[in-house]
Chains A and B, each alone.
Chain A
Amino acid sequence: MNDMPTPASIGLSREDLPNSYIGRSVPRPNVPKLVQGRATYTDDVAVPRLVHAAFLRSPHAHARIVAIDTAAAAKVPGVVRVFTGADLAKVCDPWVATLEHLKGMKSAPQYPLPLERATWQGEPVVAVVADSRAAAEDGVAALAVEWEPLAAQLDMETALDPGAVVIHPALGDNLVFTRTAEKGDVAAAFASAHKVVEATFVTGRHTGVTLEARSILADYNRAEGTLTVHHSTQAPHMMQGVFAKQLRMEEGAVRVICKDVGGSFGIKVHVYPDEVAVAAMARIMGRPVKFVADRFESFVSDIHARDHRIKGRIAVDAEGKILGFDIDDRTGIGPYSVYPRTSAIEGNQVVNLCGGPYDFANYRCTTTVVFQNKTPTCQYRAVGHPIATAVTEGLVDLAAEALGMDPIEIRRRNLIRDDAYPYTSPPGMRFEGLSHHAALAKLLEMVPVERIRADQAEQRRRGVHRGLGFASFIELTNPSPFMYGIGGARISAQDGATVRMDPDGSVVVLSGVTEQGQGTDGILRQIVAHGVGVPVERVKVITGDTQTTPYGGGTWACRGAGIGGEAALQSAIALKQQILQVAGTMLQAAPGSLDIVMGEVVERETGRARMPLGELGRIVYFRGDTLPKDLARELVQTRHFITKEYPFAFTNGIQASWVEVDVETGIVKLLEHWCVEDCGRVINPLLVDEQVRGGIVQGLGGALYEHCVYDEQGNLLTTTMADYLVPMSAEMPEMHVGHVETPTNESLLGAKGAGEAGTAGAPAALMNAINDALRPLGARVTEQPFTPARILAALGRI
């Protein structure tokens, strides 16, 4: 009974099917609610005395606020109150988004509403609170703000030049952070190389576009001294801490609830000034205040990401062995580093991840992170990965081309061997166990390369240009405190789960990880059903409430399954053991001779049913008098989990993209896409496949369509869904997903993250496919998004 459970002893291997819920495509419990419109998003929460906020946003990229006249706005029918930055600063402290382990990083204090200057077009400047959102917007229209426009620093390339506009004079310059990782002897490797090739890559600034916009309803109860916040967020416990700290309250006096959240993609794990302003206004007014961003506001105020220019070189020997990478990355992050994760992580990830799939000795990579007067950037799905993968895989393909080598062959020669683990990469990333060669082999089983190459040759004769591209990748998941905690951020890398059995034998799990549509609830239910031994329908999952769930970090960086899932499994197993102790006493059997199968206590050896859990529950809860006095009878267990051996559980995979480029119009048609990834133990194959597909779509979106375009004055031009092009189903290719499973030994469950793999590799695979198509025409594109204009320009047609 007290033996440590192992993956084999609890039936986590595929061979245990069908008696296991692990590895089965069990339907998600929340889908009917979501598709029937019965979800409770923040905007659906009804409370008495509610007022609505709308914001006047800066029309300038950089301007001094000379005067704000609120008199007319205050008289608009329905308007309750108008708040300026100075009003909110009385109750709300500013924040500075730096992390101590990012040496030398600096940023400026950010207020919910700025006191003196607006530093990006779209920054919230004045808030109007009214009886309805429409009335609040009427109030905003009646505000009179006198601006003194200032010169704006828009171009990241000139942000550190002598003539640059220093956005925060107190900081001295626009440098946020720089880091160089260096290993081996890069100069010597490049000097002695058979071939050196180089290219400059650009990844386009884009954003997350969640179906449900950012939403918050904050309610300060003066009688209790408590702040209750309904919030569309990925990290309720983190936000609890943020609201408490900024509003000078005890953490325990703040409760953050997120019922249903309609998509996040990393967009909803940050501190937004307009959202903190709403909490501050609720604190001042002593009544609930709601703000739901409209799509205009989302485009100018949701975090942007991926605004990078990367110069890269690769050195190879005559056999195609990679000798080294030499990379220089620059990124502009807007006027503030975003709290509390900071906006230096994306560049830092580029340094950590370039060259990631490959075994090579010499590495130099520098990131330079600068301020600019555009919307702040921060972590968005697959932070830094698509950038690092595009640079790495773009350079590997260029090297193959220079050597006249097949792109598959150069990868086969350089991917880290599957028996080389544990392995430490040149920038210091430690890999517990990856499967690059197994993934490549699996991919080649799925991709009909010979048929495709024959078709490609045939089509070229007819003037049709098709291309096949590959991209290997690694993905960082299950982060430990090495990601944020060691830098001083109150972001939990640990997560907890409480699992209890109620009198009728049903089970409830309360988890610190959260659900935003990706299926966290679904896998938690499967894990707990498996761990306790009950039908999956008998498990209820509760997430997203700081007052009822165990403390945790929430769902981001691919940690829901790996961290939250393991905590749930451990607590489920503990509950099962507790139940069997009680059952053993009732049935006068050794607990170790019993098991729980589908809600029934059974004899382990024979499977003979002994007692339904409902009967056990009845006796424990209503006839406890019949049990021995000293019997421990708490049918509830809580476990927390944190990774300890490795800072991150890396995963890996490889993608392939097959495209047709219309060389007359520059339009890229996506024909087919493949991805093989290794997220360790697969809990729900359908969910993992859908995560991978969705991730691929988001990666393809950034590579083909999505782009936050600014004019020369720093005005965002792409502020509607007609101008900011998201990937749509009509243009998406047929996608094939395969898996290799290398479970992590850090946990019993063995799960790593799966949510970002698709996004990490898709842009690089697509870029290589387009360039494969264009190669006979002597054209190449390296600047995302790969628009018709850029492809036609590369072809010399315009």
Chain B
Amino acid sequence: MKWPAFAYERASTLQDVWRLRAEHGEGARLVAGGQTLLATLAFRLSEPSVLVDITRIEALRGVTVQGSTLRIGALTRHAELGRDPLVARHAPLLAEAVPYIAHPAIRNRGTIGGSLAYADPAAELPACVVALDATLVLASPAGERRVAAREFFTGLLETALKPDELIAAVEVPAATPASRSAIVEVARRSGDYAMAGLAASLSLGADGRVSAPRLVYFGVGNGPVLAAGASAALEGKALDAGAIAAAQAALARDIDPPSDLHGPPEMKRHLARVLTARALSRFLPAAEAAS
């Protein structure tokens, strides 16, 4: 299908965005990487009157470290995320996630801001930012506000973004020597949306005990699912087979997956349990010693 007719405006600054939004109201849609929006336009699922191209706005670009915080501009493309040394050092989970995101052509265009704003429940980056306890910086004509990632995703393809806001950046607490993270998923083919996935982050103390575990599942609900029960089952425990089994058992109450084209809810529950063991096993003393 062909796109419906719409106008195109390029914004050079955030002020341009606020002005164009004021002019066009709800008919204005932001476009950055366009990897989701342009497809939905071709499907005629939405008919905006104007696309506002934000890719030239300098304020939304760049990856920097400020103190113990890694700030990732919303326009950072997936491919950039995957090769940025600061990301690799301070938020290795994000770098590890990149190869799972679709295919190279899509990674070359898609942006982290776009992925978070779209909030696809099977996407990797929303789960990663929740697992990393990141903060989203939202900009509007009134200024900036910060929202914890876990508060940002509010429902199926729904977020805490207000109509006059956009995502300016993501702030991630920089990893410490105690930090451990992993992303695992099961997809039919490489690059497909996950049937089920897990972005996990935790700290391992010198005593081998787990603190601040955050197991975030994707592809199993309306958005990234922070598994409170499974995470709690690990808190303060020495990581061993028993702790992993306890997390798997607790998971039953954490997720309530829908069925989809790939299978019934029970399949997703099963895969989530399998992924829990696969992700956490990486941090077992024997596995860490071997790597």
Q: Which residues of A contact B (CB under 8 A)?
A: 132-134, 137-138, 141, 294, 296, 664-667, 705, 709, 717-718, 722-723, 725, 728, 730-731, 787-789, 792, 797-798
Q: How far is A705 from B261 in the complex, measured between Cα atoms in Å? A: 12
User: Judging by beta carbons under 8 Å apart, are B263 and A788 in contact?
Assistant: yes
User: Judging by beta carbons under 8 Å apart, are A141 and B44 in contact?
Assistant: yes
Residue B192 CB within 8 A of the other chain? yes
Smallest CB gap from A719: residue in B: B43
Chain B stretch 4-37: residues in CB contact (< 8 A) with chain A: 4-5
User: Judging by beta carbons under 8 Å apart, are A667 and B2 in contact?
Assistant: no
Chain B stretch 161-205: residues in CB contact (< 8 A) with chain A: 186, 188-193, 195
Smallest CB gap from B269: residue in A: A798
User: Judging by beta carbons under 8 Å apart, are A788 and B189 in contact?
Assistant: no
Chain B residues closer than 8 Å to A665, beta-carbon distance: 186, 271, 274
Chain B stretch 188-246: residues in CB contact (< 8 A) with chain A: 188-193, 195
Chain A residues closer than 8 Å to B4, beta-carbon distance: 134, 138
A-B residue pairs in contact (CB < 8 Å), sample of 8: A133-B2, A134-B2, A141-B44, A725-B192, A731-B190, A787-B263, A788-B271, A798-B270
Q: How far is A162 from B44 in the complex, measured between Cα atoms in Å? A: 42
Residue B262 CB within 8 A of the other chain? yes
Say which residue of A134, A141, A722 sits within 8 Å of B3 (CB atoms): A134
Q: Kindly provide the distance from the CB of A781 to the nearest chain B CB, expressed in whole angstroms.
A: 14
Q: Report, as a range, how many residues of chain B touch the other chain.
A: 20 to 34
Q: Kindly provide the distance from the CB of A747 to the nearest chain B CB, expressed in whole angstroms.
A: 42
User: Knowing A667-B186, A705-B189, A731-B190 touch, does A798 contact B5 (C-beta < 8 A)?
Assistant: no
Q: Kindly provide the distance from the CB of B194 to the nearest chain A CB, expressed in whole angstroms.
A: 11
Chain B residues closer than 8 Å to A798, beta-carbon distance: 263-264, 266-267, 269-270
User: Judging by beta carbons under 8 Å apart, are B188 and A717 in contact?
Assistant: no
Residue B289 CB within 8 A of the other chain? no
Smallest CB gap from A665: residue in B: B186
Q: Ordered nearest first, which 6 A-B pairs have the shortest CB separation? A: A789-B263, A134-B2, A730-B190, A798-B266, A664-B274, A665-B186
Chain B residues closer than 8 Å to A718, beta-carbon distance: 261
Q: How far is A731 from B262 in the complex, measured between Cα atoms in Å? A: 17
Indicate with 1 or 0, residue by residue over B253-276, a CB within 8 angstroms of chain A CB atoms. Answer: 000000001111011011100100
Contact residues of A: prevailing secondary structure:
loop
Smallest CB gap from A707: residue in B: B261
Smallest CB gap from B266: residue in A: A798
User: Judging by beta carbons under 8 Å apart, are B270 and A792 in contact?
Assistant: yes
User: Judging by beta carbons under 8 Å apart, are B262 and A788 in contact?
Assistant: yes
Q: Kindly provide the distance from the CB of B277 to the nearest chain A CB, expressed in whole angstroms.
A: 9
User: Judging by beta carbons under 8 Å apart, are B186 and A788 in contact?
Assistant: yes
Chain B residues closer than 8 Å to A294, beta-carbon distance: 1
Q: How far is A787 from B188 in the complex, measured between Cα atoms in Å? A: 8
Interface centre among B3, B4, B44, B263 (most CB of A within 10 A): B263
Q: How far is A666 from B266 in the complex, measured between Cα atoms in Å? A: 13
Q: Kindly provide the distance from the CB of B48 to the nearest chain A CB, expressed in whole angstroms.
A: 15
Q: How far is A309 from B261 in the complex, measured between Cα atoms in Å? A: 20
Q: How far is A728 from B191 in the complex, measured between Cα atoms in Å? A: 10
Q: How far is A788 from B192 in the complex, measured between Cα atoms in Å? A: 14
Q: How far is A730 from B189 in the complex, measured between Cα atoms in Å? A: 8
Smallest CB gap from B277: residue in A: A664
User: Judging by beta carbons under 8 Å apart, are B274 and A788 in contact?
Assistant: no
User: Judging by beta carbons under 8 Å apart, are A709 and B261 in contact?
Assistant: yes
User: Judging by beta carbons under 8 Å apart, are B270 and A797 in contact?
Assistant: yes
Chain A residues closer than 8 Å to B186, beta-carbon distance: 665, 667, 788
Q: Kindly provide the distance from the CB of B65 to the nearest chain A CB, expressed in whole angstroms.
A: 34
